[in-house]
A and B are shown apart, each in its own frame.
Chain A
Amino acid sequence: MDYAVEVSGLVKKYGDFAAVNDISFAVNPGEIFAFLGPNGAGKSTTIKMLTTLLQPTSGRMEINGYDPVTQQDEVRKSFGIVFQDPSLDDELTAYENMEFHGVLYGVAKETREGRIKELLGIVELTDRKDNLVKSFSGGMKRRLEIARGLLHHPKVFFLDEPTQGLDPQTRNHIWDYIKNLSKKEGITIFFTTHYMEEAEKVAQRVAVIDHGKIVTTGSPAELMTQTESATLEEAFLKLTGHEIREEEAGAVDRMRAARRMWRH
C-alpha cells in the first residue's frame, strides 16, 4: 500500500553532529500521527526536511508519492503546514492572509472565495475576517493558521506544536477542528506536541524520537502496554529518560526571546 509519508534511512548532519540519525517510519493515508520527542530530539529538523525547507544529508523521503528533494513543487502542493512560530502577517487582515495563501498556491479565484469562507466558518473567525491579525489572540491566530494551511486541499497536514502556549479550552477546540477536518476531508495529520495527554487522546499512532533516532512506534495503547505505564506521559518518560535536555540556544531561540521583549 502507498503511504502518505514514508521515510527511510533519513540522516541530517551538521558537521559531526547528527541531528537526525538514520530514521525510518511511515504514516498511513488518513491517519493522525504524533511525532514525539524531547527538545532537540530532531523533530523540527525532520519536519523541515519533509517540507522541503532543509536538504537531508542522506536517506529517502516520500510525501504522497513525491520526493521532497527532487519534486519540490509537487510535494509543496500536496501538504499544508502550521509552523511552531506564528507565520501570519500581522499587518494584514485574516481574509487577506487567506487570500495571499490562495494566490501563492494557485487556487483559482472562484474556488478560492468559497473555500476561504467555508474554512473561516469552520474555525469560527467569519465575523473577524476583516480585522488585522495583530488584534488576534494566540488561539485565534492558530485557528487562522489551521484554516490557511488547509486552503489548497492538502493531503498531508503538518502541525508543529500547534497548541503550544494555549489554554486547555482553546487546545481542546483546536483538536476538535483538526479531528473533524481530518475525518471530513480524509487528510493525514502529522503533528508534534509536548502535551502527552493530547497525543494519547488524538493520535492513532505515535513515533518517539530521541537523540536523532526513532525509539519506538505504535499506537498509544501499545506504547503503554509495552512500557507497563498507565499514561502515555509515563511511557514517554520511561522511553526517553528523566534527564532534562540542555539545548543550546540557537539563533532562532535568541530571536524568539528578542521578539518577545520587543513586541509585548
Chain B
Amino acid sequence: MNAIYILWLRQIKRYLRSRSRIIGSLGQPLLFLVALGFGLGPTFAKAGQGSYLQFLAPGIIAMSVLFTALFSGIEIIWDRQFGFLKETLVAPVPRWQIMFGRTLGGATVATLQGLIVFLITLVIGFRPQSLAHIISAFIVTILIALLFTGLGTAIASLLDDMQGFQLIMNFLIMPIFFLSGALFPLTGLPDVLTKIISVNPLAYGVDGLRASLSNTGVFGLSLDLLVLILVTCAIVASGSYLFSKIQI
C-alpha cells in the first residue's frame, strides 16, 4: 500500500510544481470555449438549441480530462527508458501496484485539471443546473480520468518509443474527442456516426457530465455510469497486465 501511496504522491507533487504546465494546458480548453462557445453560439441559438456555451462546457471539461489523463499515461514511455520508472521496476514491489499508484496519481491530476476548467467555464458564463448535481459530475469526471489514464498506460506499455505517438494522437485521441459528442448534439446524426459514438467511452463521459451539469444528457446518467465503470475496470485490468509484461 505504501508503494501505491508514494507513487500517487509523486504525481501530485510533480503536477503542483509545474505551474507553467498547468497554465499552458488551460490554453486549449479556454480557446475552445471562447472560439466555439461564442463563435457558434448565435448559430446554435438560431437553430433553436438554446445556449451553445451551456451545451459545450461539459464537453470541454471532458476534453481537458481526456488529454491530461491520456498524456500522463503515455508519459510512461519516457519514464520507462530514462526516468524514474526504471528505478521502480527493479524495486521489490509488484508491478500492478506501480501501475495502480501511477494511474491513481495521473487520474487525480486529470480530475484537478477538469475542476480548474470547470471553474473557468463558470467565469465565462456557464451555469450548472444545481449544486447537488455537481457531485455526480465529479464522479463522472473521476471515472473519465481513471479510464483514460489506464488507456494511456496500456498504450505506453505496448510502445517502444515515441515513434508511434503521432499515430496514436491522430488515430486515437483526436477521434475519441471529436466523435464523442463533446462539440455537437447527438440527435439527428447520420446512422454511422451515431453507431461510432455509441461505442466511444468518452461519449458516455460527456453525456454523464451533461446529464449532471446541464440536464441535456441523452443516454441517461445510470447507463453513463454503468458503461464508464465497466470500461474503466476492463482497461485498468488490461493496463496492469500489459504493464507487468514490460521488459526493458
Q: Which of B79-87, B167-175, B191-199, B208-216 interfaces with chain A? A: B79-87
**Among B78, B88, B92, which residue has its beta carbon within 8 angstroms of that of A77?**
B92
Chain A 193-225 interface 0/1 with B at a Cβ cutoff of 8 Å (1 = within): 000000000000000000000000000000000
Interface centre among A91, A99, A259 (most CB of B within 10 A): A91
Q: Is the CB of B90 within 8 A of A52?
A: yes
| A-B residue pairs, 4 tightest by C-beta | A76-B92, A251-B161, A104-B91, A103-B6
B10 on the A face (CB < 8 A): yes
Q: Is the CB of B81 within 8 A of A252?
A: yes
A107 to chain B, nearest CB (A): 10
A37-93 contacts to B, CB under 8 A, are 48, 51-55, 72-73, 76-77, 79, 81, 83, 85-92
**Among B2, B3, B14, B93, which residue has its beta carbon within 8 angstroms of that of A89?**
B14
B7 to chain A, nearest CB (A): 8
Q: Inter-chain contact count A-B, CB under 8 Å?
A: 86
B186 to chain A, nearest CB (A): 40
What A residues does B90 contact at CB under 8 A? 51-53, 76, 79, 81
| Bound complex: CA A252 to CA B90 (Å) | 18
A140 to chain B, nearest CB (A): 17
**Among B2, B78, B82, B91, which residue has its beta carbon within 8 angstroms of that of A86?**
B82
Which A residues form the contact surface with B (CB < 8 A)? 48, 51-55, 72-73, 76-77, 79, 81, 83, 85-92, 96, 99-101, 103-106, 132, 148, 251-252, 254-256, 258-259
Q: Is the CB of B247 within 8 A of A54?
A: yes
Given A91-B13, A92-B13, A258-B162, A53 contacting B82 (CB threshold 8 A)? no
**Among A48, A81, A89, A258, which residue has its beta carbon within 8 angstroms of that of B83?**
A89
Q: Is the CB of A87 within 8 A of B160?
A: no
Interface centre among B86, B89, B92 (most CB of A within 10 A): B92
Q: Is the CB of B84 within 8 A of A87?
A: yes
Q: Can you list 17 A-B contacts (CB < 8 A)? A: A48-B248, A52-B90, A53-B86, A72-B92, A73-B92, A76-B91, A79-B90, A83-B86, A87-B84, A87-B86, A89-B10, A89-B83, A92-B14, A103-B3, A104-B3, A255-B161, A259-B78
